[in-house]
């Protein structure tokens, strides 16, 4: 009798689960964006004869159901922690090292493709008459390789890529990686692939010395921290129980700031845009994120102060505040969004220096660098 009751309860429970999942799918609010993963979710696929014939419709239905499965965030996070604690991180896009830093998997760069990018950079230097200096940010995993299992640490090839850049004709590599490896293991965010204010300041010092300038001391900047920052590696890893951290900010003292963007109206008197602190991604707090062209003026600079043309990825947004006191104008170009002539910008603004600020991953993979002109 007891066995029959137990069997009946098992069947009823199983039936309730089978019924609850589709009901929840139909009744719960429809979402188009996942803030936890920072990505848009799959939309309901549209049926057509063509899609039925090549099975693409089935694939899209499967993706849509997986993205909108009730309780999906909890299931994805549980799977991520199981992967972590069972030692299967080698198959993941983000690794958790021995001290809890969430680091990106290494980029598998192609030496021939990197050569093409470096060749275009050198040619831009010839066109503008400016010597291209490359400030290349090593990956967190490379700098903190001693905190990773040896099998994972061996996958980071930053050293090979940096040596190729150093040996390339027509460009000059700013020395940075060695100092980061010896001093800068904590100069990255735990939940993001970007550097902290300490890392950006160290890079600023390295560039200024390479360009023949004396870097300012830390006293020339006001340091602040904004609690609650959660970066992109935390989102992508699904290790969402990982604690947040402060977003570190250094603001230059005594500069008359004017900022304009090629794709946004208005002139702004700050390098920082607090409205982004109400969004899921805080990093655009620095210079409103990525724009095709951003122009920063310092009205307190000397009339003969240099003008910097910076071709950059997102790392340049946090480097720029340190450079502002030493330059009359900084013209920042993101070639992922700007398809016109960079050399024409150099001429328009009278650039006297040319800096490329890139992560090792971007310099090795960004196709837009091969189209520089």
Is the distance from CB of 358 to CB of 313 less than 8 angstroms? yes
Q: Pairing mode, if any, of strands 94-96 and 102-104?
A: antiparallel
Task: Provide φ and ψ at 302, rounded to 5°.
Answer: -65, 155
- In 74-131, at which residue ranges do the beta strands (DSSP E only) sit? 94-96, 102-104
Chunk the chain into consecutive blocks of 10 residues (it has 373) and report each block's average pLDDT, rounded to whole numbers.
63 62 56 64 65 61 62 65 68 85 90 95 96 97 94 92 97 96 95 97 98 96 96 87 94 96 95 94 95 96 95 97 97 95 96 98 92 86
Which residues are CB-neighbours of 94 under 8 A, at least 6 positions away? 102, 103, 104, 105, 233, 236, 237, 239
Among 250, 263, 266, CA closest to 324: 250
- Angstrom distance (rounded) from CA 50 to CA 346: 50
Residue 224: other Cβ atoms inside 10 A: 13
Instruction: Specify the pLDDT at position 70.
Output: 63
Q: Pairing mode, if any, of strands 353-359 and 132-137?
A: parallel
Instruction: Specify the pLDDT at position 237.
Output: 85
CA distances 254 to 233, 261, 324, 326, 332, Å, are 35, 22, 10, 12, 21
Instruction: Specify the pLDDT at position 45.
Output: 72
Instruction: Specify the pLDDT at position 51.
Output: 54
- Angstrom distance (rounded) from CA 31 to CA 155: 37
Q: What is the largest CA-CA distance in the chain?
A: 96
Three-state DSSP class for 208? helix
Instruction: Specify the pLDDT at position 280.
Output: 87
Length reported for the chain:
373
Instruction: Specify the pLDDT at position 141.
Output: 95
Instruction: Specify the pLDDT at position 247.
Output: 97
DSSP type of residue 254? S
């Amino acid at each position: 009798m007891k066995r029959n009751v137990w069997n009946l309860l098992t069947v009823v429970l199983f039936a309730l689960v089978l019924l609850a999942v589709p009901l929840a799918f139909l009744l719960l609010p429809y979402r188009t964006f996942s803030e936890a993963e920072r990505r848009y979710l799959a939309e309901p696929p549209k049926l057509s004869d063509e899609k039925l014939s090549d099975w693409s419709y089935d694939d899209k239905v499967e993706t849509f159901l997986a993205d909108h499965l009730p309780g999906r965030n909890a299931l994805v996070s549980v799977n991520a922690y199981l992967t972590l604690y069972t030692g299967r991180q080698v198959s993941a896009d983000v690794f958790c090292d021995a001290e809890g830093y969430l680091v990106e998997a290494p980029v598998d760069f192609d030496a021939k493709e990197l050569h093409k990018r470096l060749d275009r950079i050198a040619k831009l230097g010839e066109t503008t008459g400016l010597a291209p200096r490359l400030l290349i940010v090593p990956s967190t995993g490379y700098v903190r390789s001693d905190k990773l299992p040896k099998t994972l640490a061996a996958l980071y090839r930053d050293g090979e890529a940096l040596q190729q850049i150093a040996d390339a004709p027509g460009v000059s590599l700013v020395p940075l990686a060695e100092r980061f490896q010896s001093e800068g293991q904590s100069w990255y965010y735990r939940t993001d692939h970007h550097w902290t204010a300490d890392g950006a300041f160290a890079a600023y010092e390295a560039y200024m010395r390479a360009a023949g300038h004396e870097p300012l001391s830390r006293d020339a900047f006001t340091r602040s921290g904004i609690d609650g920052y959660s970066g992109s590696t935390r989102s992508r890893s699904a290790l969402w129980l990982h604690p947040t951290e402060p977003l570190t900010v250094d603001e230059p003292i005594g500069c008359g700031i004017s900022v304009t963007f090629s794709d946004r109206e208005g002139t702004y008197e700050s390098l920082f845009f607090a409205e982004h602190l109400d969004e899921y991604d805080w990093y655009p707090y620095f210079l409103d994120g990525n724009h095709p062209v951003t122009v920063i003026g310092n009205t307190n600079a000397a009339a003969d102060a240099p003008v910097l043309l910076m071709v950059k990825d997102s790392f340049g947004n946090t480097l720029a505040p340190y450079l502002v006191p030493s330059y009359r104008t900084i013209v920042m170009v993101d070639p992922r969004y700007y398809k016109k002539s960079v050399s024409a910008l150099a001429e328009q603004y009278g650039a006297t220096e040319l800096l490329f600020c890139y992560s090792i991953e971007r310099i090795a993979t960004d196709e837009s660098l091969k189209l520089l002109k």
